[in-house]
């Protein structure tokens, strides 16, 4: 599966370059979203969800956005808004990969594609879950899932499960306005929960989906 590995590595590099390029453009809302997320309103909710969606190509401070959701809209609605943006990001990445599927057919041998599709049929849900909190890898894995024709409902489910811990914990931190809560601690908790979900998924074989 050398070609798939090379394509995956190239995708990570491209996303990293896009992030670096965006950083040089000095876009205010990406550098500091706080002025756009000060009051509870429908417009601010759309800004927050939109920023999370834009994280597929831009270096969005997603932890700040999710915490702001909790601070402005409370733990329940804040969680739902963060979930909408995070799951949407997963599905946008998946759609990008799906659109590039024809190109994959031309550059990757059929035997290798079949092997990767079998791998994703069994472990794809777990891979999306465990990489969801990880910048670059989350988007790259979802893109590869789309290119390998992993079923959309499995990607949607994995996106939901993988996004839930961060959405909940950041919303609670924002709602309680606990400035003393270190973002490092929150991230550590999210990783522990994601690891537990990974081990659960690892022990559950997902049967291939017939096309």
Residue 130 corresponds to which tokens in the numbers above? 């465990």
**C-alpha pair distances (Å), 23 with each of 73, 92, 178:** 29, 22, 29
Say if residue 139 is exposed, middle or buried (CB neighbours under 10 Å; 0-12, 13-18, 19+): buried
- 6: number of CA atoms within 13 Å, CB side? 7
Q: How far apart are CA 7 and CA 140, in angstroms?
A: 10
Query: Each residue's pLDDT tens digit in the chain (211 positions)?
Result: 566 667 667 767 777 777 777 667 767 777 677 777 888 888 899 999 999 998 887 878 888 899 999 889 988 899 999 999 999 999 998 988 888 766 665 656 566 666 666 777 777 788 888 888 887 888 888 888 888 778 888 899 889 988 988 898 888 888 876 444 445 555 566 566 656 655 655 555 444 444 4
**Cα radius of gyration (the chain):** 18
8 A C-beta contact, residue 58 and residue 85 = no
Are 197 and 129 contacting, i.e. CB atoms less than 8 angstroms apart?
yes
Structure tokens at 62: 């997603």
- The distance of Cα 126 from the centroid of its chain, to the nearest Å, equals 13
Contact yes or no for 199/174 (Cβ under 8 A): no
pLDDT at 177: 60
Query: In the chain, how many H helices and how many E strands?
Result: 9, 0
- Position 4 scores a pLDDT of 60
Separation of alpha carbons 99 and 70, rounded Å: 34
Q: What pLDDT was estimated at residue 209?
A: 42
The DSSP element (H or E) to which 196 belongs, if any, is helix 183-202
φ, ψ of residue 200 to 5 degrees: the values are -65, -45
The rounded distance, in Å, linking the Cα atoms of 18 and 91 is 19
């Amino acid at each position: 599966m050398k070609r798939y590995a090379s394509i995956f590595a190239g995708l990570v590099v491209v996303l990293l370059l896009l992030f670096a390029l965006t950083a040089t453009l000095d876009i205010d809302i990406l550098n500091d979203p706080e002025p756009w997320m000060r009051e509870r309103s429908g417009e601010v909710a759309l800004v927050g969800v939109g920023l999370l969606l834009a994280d597929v190509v831009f270096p969005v401070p997603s932890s700040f956005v999710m915490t702001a959701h909790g601070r402005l809209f409370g733990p329940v609605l804040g969680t739902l808004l963060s979930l909408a943006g995070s799951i949407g990001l997963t599905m946008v990445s998946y759609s990008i990969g799906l659109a590039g599927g024809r190109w994959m057919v031309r550059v990757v041998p059929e035997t290798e594609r079949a092997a990767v599709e079998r791998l994703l049929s069994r472990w794809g849900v777990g891979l999306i879950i465990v990489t969801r909190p990880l910048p670059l890898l989350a988007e790259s894995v979802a893109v590869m899932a789309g290119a390998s024709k992993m079923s959309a409902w499995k990607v949607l489910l994995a996106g939901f499960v993988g996004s839930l811990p961060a959405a909940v914990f950041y919303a609670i931190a924002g709602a309680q306005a606990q400035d003393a809560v270190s973002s490092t601690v929150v991230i550590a908790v999210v990783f522990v929960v994601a690891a537990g979900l990974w081990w659960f998924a690892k022990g559950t074989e997902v049967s291939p989906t017939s096309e």
